[in-house]
Amino acid sequence: METAQMIIHNGIYYLFFSTLSSNYSPKFTSKIEGSYTGLHCYYSTSLVEEFKPVNNTGIVVDCKEEMYVIRIIEQINENEFRAMGWLNKNERGEFIGALSKPFILRFEGDKIYKL
């Protein structure tokens, strides 16, 4: 788990983090039917209550090995936030180490989508 970031939106605490698929435990991998590199998120209505996975799996953006360490930069309207990530590889699989183009995440309660 890297680059943890908390966003409070409409009374919900969203805890974001990035991780590599290789960091998943076998038990967790079988529970959500796979392992994913990219942006993950758990949410709660209180800091002291149980945090649950958004999208039922905790996966917000599955980046394969192309992008890693996604950060939410700013809120752009009521339910949308701008984000960027660190690009690992280009289309040929070569390391490039550059910032991604900004993209939008849409928050809808216990669901978060990349637009």
In the chain, where the domains are located: 2-114
Say if residue 69's pLDDT is above 70.
yes
Residue 98 has a CB neighbour count (10 Å cut-off) of: 9
Looking at residue 106, what is its pLDDT? 98
Identity of the residue numbered 66: E
Question: Taking the model in full, what pTM does it have?
Answer: 0.87
Task: Quickly state the pLDDT bin for 65 (edges 50, 70, 90).
Answer: low
